[in-house]
Each structure stands twice: as C-alpha cells, then as structure tokens.
Chain A
Amino acid sequence: MRGFACGYHTALIFTLALGGAVAPSLAGEPPFPNELLYPNVVPPTRQFGTYGQGLGAFSEPTGACFLSPDRLAIVDTGNRRVQVVSIDGEGLYDFGEKTEGADGKPSSFVSPTAIACDEKTIAIADAGSSEVHLFDKAGRLLKTLGGFGTQAGRLNEPSGIAIGDDVIAVSDTGNNRVQVFDREGRLKAAFGAYGTGQAQLNRPLGIAVDGSGDIYVADSLNNRIQKFNASGSLLKSWGDWGSHAGFFATPSSVTSRGQHVYVTDLTNHRIQVFDRHGNFLFQWGRHPVRGHEGQGRTHYPWALAVNEDESKFALVEPVENRLQIFEKVELAKTKNVNDSAWWDKATRFHYGSRPEIGGNLMAISEPDTHSVLVFDISNDVPTLVSRLGGRGSSLGKLIEPSGMVVNESKGEILVTDAGNLRLQTLGLVKAPSAELAGVSTPLGYLTDLGRAVKATHTAFLGVPVSDGKVNVEKVEKFAAISSARPLTVELKSAERVIYPGALKRAPDGELYLYDQGQARILVLRDGVVRTSFGGYGTEPGKFRSVHNMSFSKDGKRLFVVDPYNFRVQILDRDGIFISAFGRPGHADEEFSSIFGITSGLDGFIYITDETKHCIYKYTEEGKFVARWSRWGTEPGELYKPKGIAQDARGRLYLLSFGNHRGEIYSTEGKHLGSFGLADPDTSRGKEVMEILTSRPAYAVSAKSMLQRDVSSLLNATRVSKATAAALQMTSNADNYVVRVSSSQPLSSMDATKTLLVSVARKVDGKPIDVELEFSASMPAHNHGLLDRPQVKKTGAGKFEIAGVTTPMEGLWELYFDIHNRLENERAQAAIFVR
C-alpha cells in the first residue's frame, strides 16, 4: 500500500472483517508493535452499554454527568429519556416520559441531547423540542425554558448545557449563539451570531462554565474553543482544523473542572485536555482499528463527564451506544509521544448523511471530511469516481455538505454547503484515461483535474421571509448578470438568514430547500423563491425539523421526514397538508429517529430509522407495507442507517454509518450487497483502497459523465514562454468573460508575477462591478499557493493581483472567483509551469 501512515498495519487491517467483532478487544494486548510507542490508548476501568430500550441499554446516548461519585445521569437520546446508572453500568431508573413544555402543557422528552448537573439542579437540553428542562435532584420539574424561535429566550435545537454558580448556560446551536439564564430561568445574556470571525459561532455544540464563571463553547464547525466571560466578551479562542495537538476536527463538547478544560475532539476520535488559557496539556483516545472495539479505542467521542475531583471520567460514545469510564491514575500514565490523532486509521470513508442519485451518478455527502463522493452506479457495484470538496470556504470547498441534487446530463451536483450558508454547484469533467497520460492526478480530498473540478457557481442565501410571504427586495443592478437568472435579493438582517439543509429537486425542476433557521421549506424556481411554507410546530403542516424530503411518482405530492414529530407528512406542492403517518415507539409502524426518505419511482416510499436501525416501506398514501432489517454488523444488518436513494433500476442505496459502508437493497427488502469498504478482501475492496491511497492516481472515466471534457484544459497546458503573458476565459456558469495579462510569462516558475484582470459580462461585454478572489492550485499535489498574493481593485471589473508565484513545475490551475455579493462564480485556466 502506498502513501499511508499505517504501513505494515494495513495488511493486518485488511484481514479483519470490518464490523465483525462486536466484542471488544483488550488494549492491553496490542496487535501492532507501534501501540507500545504511542500509549494514548488508555484502558478504561469500566466499559458498558449496548443497544436497547431497557434499563442498562442505550440508543445513542449523547451526554452524562455525575449525580454522585458512583452514579451517572445519562442522556439516552434515541430512547427519549435520561437514564441513571451506577458507575458499573447497572441501570437504576429513568425519566423523561412525563415533563412539561415551555408552553406549560404536558409533554415528553423528544430528543434530549445534553445534560448538566450540580448539587441542586439537573438541566437537560432537548433539541427536538428546542427546550431546556430544569429538574431538582429528586427529579421534580422546576421549569422549562425556551421553545423554538430566534427571539431572546427562545432556542433552536440547543445541543449543549452547563451549570455555573448562578447560571445555566445554553448552547443555542441552531441560532449560533449562547444564552445564559439564571436558575429561575430569567435571561441574563445572549451573545454570538453565525460567522467565522472572533466571537462568532458556526454550530456551537458543547458548553462549559469554569470556577470563575467564564464560559467555554465548542464552536464545532469553526474547529475551535472560544472562551467568553459571563456577559459575552471574548476572552480567548484557540484551535483550527487539523489533527495535531491543539487542532480539532468538529469538537463536540467541552467540560471544565479545576484548572482543566476537556474537549471531545469528535472526528479526530480523541479527547484533548487544556489549561484554562488554551494551552495543550495532553490527550487520550484513538480511533478503533477493529470495528466497535472500545477498551480505550474511542469512536466519535461525543461528550465527557468529569467528577468533582477529576479522578473519574465518563466518556459517551453515541454511535457505540456505550460509555467508557477512565480513571486519573491510568490517564496520568499517558505520555505525549505522538500528538497526531491519526497514525493508525486505514480507511477513509466516513459514510455520512445522504446519497443522491441522478441517472448513473450517485453523490454521497461525507460531512466528517466536508466532501462529496461521486460514484458511477451503472454496474452492480458502485465505482468510486471522485471526491469533491474538502473543508473550506472558497469555491469548490465545503463545510458540512448536506442536501444534494445530481444532474447527470449537465454533469453537475448542487450541494447544500450548510456550514457556509450557501448552495454550491460543482461541475464534473470527463476524463478519458488516455488523455491523462503524463498528467498525474491523485484521487484525494481536493478536487482534481481528472474527474471533477469546476466549482461552477455558488449562491449565498439570505432571502428575507416574513410571515409565510416572500418579501422580495429591490433588484440590485449588478446582479442582473444573465438574462436567464434575474435573482437579486439582498440579505437584510441576521434574523432572516437562511440555514440551508435538506434539498430535493421536484420532477419539474423546482428546488425544495429546508431552512433550519425558520423551520420552513423554501421553493426555488430559477433561483428565486416562489413560495415558502411550514414554520415551527407540531400541528399538521408545521415542522419541528425536516431531515429529508422526496416527491411522489406523479410529482404532485411532497413527503417530509419530520423526525421530532415522529411522522412523515404528505403535503402538496405548496405545502398544504394532506395527511401524515407515524407515531413514536418501537413497534413496526412506529418511528424512533427517522432520517432518510426516497420515493417517486415505483409508487412506494422508503424511509430509514437511525435508532431503530431499519428501513420502512409505505405506499404513497401512507399505508404501512413492511419493515426490514435490524441492528447489527453482519451483512444485511444495519447500524445507524442514514440517507437512502433509489436508482432507475429500482435498487435502493443507503448508508450504514456505524458499519462504515453502503448497502444495496431490492424493493422487496432483499439485501443485494454492500459497497464502500464492506469487505476489504475482495478485489473490489482492494481496488477502492488503491484509488484512495495511490499516487499518481488512477483515472477512471465514468461512462455516464458529461459533455465538457478535459482536452481543452490540456490544450492550455503547454503554453510557451513567449505567449504565456495573456489569458482569456469564460466563467464556469457562462456569465462572465475574464481577461488576464501578466507582467511575466505565466508559465515561469521563478518569476513573481503581477496579473491585470478585467471582468466583463459575457452577454454584452460590458465591464461589471464585482469583487474578485484569486487562488491557484496544483491538482496533482493537493496544495494551493504557497505565498498569498494581494488583490487590489483598480476600477469596475478591474483588478491587479501582485505577488503571484507558482514555484513548482507542473500543471497549475488559476482560479478567479467573482462575487457579486449574492453569487460567486469561478473562472479558471490551466497553465503548465516550468
């Protein structure tokens, strides 16, 4: 194998069936010699938990706190309860079925996600009802705060809670802010807003309050911890995306005890410990090598409970339905030998939220790595063709991709780039292998020349909406860039920002987009909002959240997965309620946490349930037909199934997140096979690993890919010194013409170049007042510019870019990203530097 840290690990890893052994192996008998060099795998003193509904069993637990030195209160999300267990895992009792909503009406926990407790109070955040419940130690309800909304005191899917001396601090995740209440529930402070800058937040999850009253927030999509004082002034911020000490990959929780700050570094699969100033102290935990093994191997560690004197730590792993208890004595033996989180994990698929199919193309979003995988599904076994995205905010990069629409004939994938608050179109480029001889192109994490490149177009979202009516503001003149697209609505206020999520295209081309900020669905036609409907609630036609949508075969009805209302709603194209089906529970026709949905081909609806680990089949009228599969790791069994899609042949593809693979079923529920990394010993599995790991790569051309081919790009490559001082290109969505002249030959490796750029509208050649961002990359080497150039605007559509250096020989792509404040479009050129 090539290019991987594991080296001699890899052969061993491939002989283990993924997900085979559910029973844990002991970290005390490491199979790999390198274990002894990197003792960050600390054996727990206790480990307990398995999937189930009774006492002592769990369904995606997401939080815990020490009620007493030997008792833990655990948020058992999928079972909609808090379960109190002994430190040995013996289930004692649970509660949550009888509580009260913020409106004073009797209710139950919907999707409790975080817990905090001290001597007087147990506080629970419920993302499903957007409420916070305060109980006393005896379990009597004291108060319920929140309820869905953006106003002060209201919440949107809160996912973190902490108790201080006189405060209850809530991570108001969906509103990208923190709200601080006193113990009586009165609001004391609210701070934060969406963004990547100082004191801004992008999906805050865990929260903690230290002994001085300062507040720490796990700012998950900004991959950092931010520390504020009680009134919300920023004191410190630390962390960035990465896997070394002090770097994070989606930190999910933060806990403060004494002088320590503990962070569960979710997709680095480890816990990092800092002092109160953000200085890294030590870490422990590593991704499992054998599926589900535990014993110090930590898999998506979501939350950590720490007792009073920091002698015991309870780590909660929702995907494993388990807790591991560590003790200080063992942790103290942890040596910082290798602070990188990653050296021994071989596989790279993190089957993420959704598959989406268009013709013979299937796109799968992979939020862990902020990418979209593209497969050719024209054969029985899906063939991995490309990986798009990778984490970032420039065009072509993604943060938390969620919904997608695949347009095979145009070769485009429209992605909800949720963490960047935008929709992005990525265009695919055909790559006949023969033409790529001599141009090495890795199948890596970034877009690459061979298979998929053009970040065509991004629309930023922020359409003002009030009271169910679309309020279209004045048309900005610069946005009339194309006769085909008159979109021009300006973002007015932060309250009205759209938080895009699930996305689906109706058979007639309209786009249905879920806005998590307002709990409503927007209907877009040609980029303009035609109508919107929904709003938060439990009544027919209202939503608590929408995880996915699909259309009926005749295109007239919309099916909406409304998981926190435990139902699928059937609506017409304007959102008028027709009917709904489903109720909470564990019987066949009852729902626990429904997620994926697909329909439109054969008159049936197929739905996945993440915490019942099954697939449901219903008629389009909402009549139950069947339930398939059950929790497990064997072929045909499911482990946290996520999105589902159906191809033209009727085959159902779904992602089994906990088994790190995809599954294919027939419409009768017959398991047809697995894909991804189900069975590394097969030649297909090996081939896939070759694609992922070998360089120079492997150019696969998917039969069904589209018009634009790479030859025009390749023709641009060999630019001779004499002529390479000027370029002209059309932008990727055909709206602009960009002309570039350079002070030095563009193909020169040594010269530092100054570029003069002019941007004009393609339709009439007139210069246009836009903003420009410049970057460049070598697709073959996965890196961008090594020095940052300076872009200066010199007139309408005119720019000077100084300090452009392309110091490596080979194929470079130059990217000119044109913003008109609402949309961002890329023009690009390829240059061979020598």
Chain B
Amino acid sequence: MNALKRPFLYASVWLVLAVFLSQSFAGQRTIGKEEIDALVRLRLTPNRNVDLTNRLERIPAAIDLGRRLFFDPRLSGNKERSCSTCHKPAHSFGESLRLSPGLNGQISRKTPSLVGVGRMRWFFHDGRSDTLWGQAAEVIESPHEMGGNRAAVASLLKSEASYRQLVSQLPSHGATGDGAALVTAAKSLAAYVNTLDFSPSRFDRALTKTEGRWVLVSGVLSDDEVAGARLFIGRARCVACHRGPALSDSLFHNLGLPVPSARSELDPGRYAAATGLSSREFGGVGAHSDDRSSGRRKVESVFADGSSWGAFRTPSLRNVGSASSFMHDGRFGTLEDVLAFYSKLEGQQVGHHDSGLLSPIDLSDIELSQLASFLRVFSEKQAAK
C-alpha cells in the first residue's frame, strides 16, 4: 500500500469505529459523574440487616424448617392454605391476582412480594409489625388470612418427624408460654424468607468499576432504559423514596391517592399501626423477643401522629416488572397506570391544611415508557430454593 493510502485506511477504520462506538455510547454520552454516582447507589449490595430479636435468623436448621413450613398448608386453620398460597414462588413470592382471596372475602391490601423483604425495617403495608417473624406469626393466626392457631402449630411441630428433628437442632430463644411453638415456627419462617433476596439484574451488570471509577457498561442497557434511569434519579425524583439497593427507604408516605368511590372507609395506614407497636405480642419489645432493648429503641423512634395518617410503606421496585397490581390496595393494574398517576397526580387528595408530598412530574408519553422500561430491567424470576 502506498504511503498515501495507509493513513486513509487507518482514518476510515477509525471513522467506522468512531461511528460504531458513538452509536453504542449514544445513551451514555451525556451522562455525568453525579448521575453515575446516583445510579451506583442503587446497585445491589449484600443485605446487611440483622434482626437481633430473632436468634434463629441465620441458623441452617431454622432456615430448613422455615422453608418446609412455608409450603405446609397444615399451618392454616382449614389445612388448605400455606404461605405459598398467596406468596407464590413463581411470582417473586407475591400474588398473581390483583388481590388475594382471604378466608372471609378478598384481602383488602395487596399481597407484597417477599423477595428482599429482609431488607425492610417494618412489615405489612402499614408497618404494624416491627419484625419479620412477628409478621409471620400474626398472619398464621389471622382469621382473614390463614386462620390457624398456636395450639395447632404446636401439635404440628411435635407430630411431624422432620419438624421435630429440626426443632431439636435449634438454639434456645425467647419463645415462651403457649405461643412458644408459634414463635419458633414464625422465627424459622423469617429465617427462610430472609434468604429470599434479589438476584443481580441487568441493571446491576450495567455498572462496572474500571480504574477506580464507575462507568456504565455499553450495550447492557438500551438508550431508552438509560433515559429512564436518568429520569428515575433526576426529574422524576423516584429515588427520593425508592432509593438504595432495595429501591425502597422502608419508610411510610401518604401519596394522596384518590379514594375510589366504591369504598366505605379510608385506610389509616401507618397512623393506626404506629400506636400499637409497643404492645405487640409478637414484636421486638415483647416476651418472645431475643433483644428487647434494640426492639425498644426501634419502636420508640416512631412518630405516631396525624402526619402518618394514610401513609404506607414504600415498596421495593426490584420486582415491579412481574407484579400483578400496584399500591397498597392493588388499585393499579399496570406499571404505566402507576406512572400516569405520578405524572399528573389526577385526583390527588390532600388535606386542606396540608401540603401534598408529591408534585406532578408531567412525563411525556415517551418518557413514561422509558421510565417503565428502566423499571422492568430490575425484574427477574425468583425460583423457590
């Protein structure tokens, strides 16, 4: 090749490469360091929560026992429902229907996914349980949900050989009195559910650290998904509450959702729950707790006042792509419906003397679909372990 042609060849190679690379980086071309930092804070990191009130939390025998009990319908009153009846493994341990059927009609609040629930600080939509094991115990005895009772749980743990054997391997813990077996079951269930954690998603793979700096890996997220990510941490401000690896602050907020006309009562949410925290039988402060002082500190940190009326727990968004319904009462059927609400706040209800938490974000149609695409990136199928 003569001297003139070689540079030309190199130039055209570079040109082609440049075009190719520029296409790949199109979405990330203008993403700044602060935005990368904000996205990095959403990356999945190991769950560091430890529930001191549940000594069985990481005991292998308890996890094993909990896993078996999770699928055991004999925990329920009519022997036909297990935890997995509503918390279906194939649906990220959530419900495939909009709302779950209960024992006396439909359960009014949506069944949440249990994946990653160990990262939360409060349990149930209204946070009325300060511990995961307390939530399990309450549901087992709830006449609307499982209709079980502690005596039946006690005899189940005694009669079933494998359960007897696993229970004998458990260390002693704070279960006392006639609730002891129920608490053992509940703490074991919590130990198992605690292992149901998020798996790294395509989002988590899209960020990598090179030479000490975080960068967005090209080609992992589409341009639309990147645009959605920038809305999530930027103008749409989702990250204000849906933050951290779980995409939830595990706190309580009242969005001012409009009241559907068919309802007869508004749901007080956190307000009603907060006042009962310190007197819960199955809780961090109660007799069955393995660390009452941390339980007490947690319960005392709660403001139980009118500002928490109608507030519900921020859900994790990591499984939102596979959810069948959204909001505490399952009122929205699609992610797009949720985003449409946040976009316009149509019908938002704010008390006259209050200011609402949200302002409308006014998404265009394209932006709405970009945000939805981004959120769907996190979803995954979680198989039963």
Contact = CB atoms under 8 A, between A and B. Distances in A.
B239 interface: yes
B345 interface: yes
A3 B355 contact: yes
Given A243-B353, A244-B310, A339-B266, A788 B300 contact: yes
Nearest to B309: A244
A247 B264 contact: no
Given A3-B359, A3-B360, A244-B310, A445 B301 contact: no
Interface string A221-254: 0000000000000000000111111010100000
Contact of B297 (A3, A341, A803, A809): A803
User: Which of B252, B268, B351, B352 has the largest number of chain A CB atoms within 10 A?
Assistant: B352
Nearest to B264: A336
Contacts of A442: 355
B244 A803 contact: no
B351 A244 contact: yes
A5 interface: yes
A781 interface: yes
A339 B349 CA distance: 11
A803 B309 contact: no
B360 A2 contact: yes
A7 B309 CA distance: 22
A50 interface: no
B301 A803 contact: yes
B240 interface: yes
Interface in B357-374: 357-360
B266 A338 contact: yes
A793 interface: no
A587 interface: no
Contacts of B300: 788, 790
A695 interface: yes
B49 to A, nearest CB: 12
A695 B350 contact: no
A696 B359 contact: yes
Contacts of B5: none
B354 interface: yes
A240 B241 contact: no
A369 B297 CA distance: 34
B350 A240 contact: no
User: Which of A3, A339, A444, A808 has the largest number of chain B CB atoms within 10 A?
Assistant: A3
Given A807-B251, A808-B241, A5 B306 contact: no
Interface string B298-322: 0011110111011000000000000
Interface string B260-291: 01011110100000000000000000000000
A345 B306 CA distance: 20
Interface in A616-658: none
Interface string B109-149: 00000000000000000000000000000000000000000
A4 B356 CA distance: 8
B212 to A, nearest CB: 16
A345 B352 contact: yes
A245 B310 CA distance: 11
A763 interface: no
Contacts of B265: 245, 336, 339
B266 A789 contact: no
B57 interface: no
A340 B355 contact: no
Interface in B203-233: none
Contacts of A785: 303
A810 interface: yes
Interface in B235-254: 239-241, 243-244, 249, 251-252
A5 B357 CA distance: 12
B80 interface: no
A788 B303 contact: yes
Contacts of B359: 2-3, 694-696
Contacts of B241: 808
A482 to B, nearest CB: 34
A588 interface: no
Interface string A187-204: 000000000000000000
Contacts of B356: 3
A336 B266 CA distance: 9
B135 to A, nearest CB: 20
Given A242-B309, A783-B357, A341 B268 contact: no
A341 B249 contact: no
8 contacts: A3-B345, A4-B348, A240-B306, A242-B309, A243-B353, A342-B351, A782-B355, A783-B307
Interface of B: 239-241, 243-244, 249, 251-252, 256, 259, 261, 263-266, 268, 297, 300-303, 305-307, 309-310, 345-360
Given A2-B359, A695-B359, A787-B302, 10 more contacts: A3-B359, A244-B266, A245-B266, A338-B266, A340-B259, A340-B351, A783-B357, A785-B303, A790-B297, A809-B239
Top-7 shortest CB links A-B = A342-B352, A242-B306, A695-B359, A243-B351, A444-B355, A37-B261, A787-B301
